[in-house]
Amino acid sequence: MIVPEKRSRPASLTRFYGGLADPIRLIDIAQEDADTFLVNYHYATKSCFYKG
């Protein structure tokens, strides 16, 4: 899910996510309660690595 503030700028999203060195990969998802999910994912840009 992309927050509403980011959806209004699709070109920015395409520029960032389209140029990833390692595409977003879902590692794990767990439901914490009725409205909250904990998500673990991995991606890498061309200049740095991020694991959330």
What average pLDDT does this structure show over 22-49? Answer: 86
The model carries a pTM of 0.51
Does pLDDT of 37 surpass 60?
yes
How far is CA 22 from each of CA 28, 35, 43, rounded to the nearest angstrom?
17, 30, 5
For residue 2, pLDDT over 90 is answered with no
State percent of the chain over pLDDT 70. 77
Q: What pLDDT is recorded for position 17?
A: 78
- Residue 50 has a pLDDT of 52
- Rounded Cα gap, residues 24 and 42, in angstroms: 6
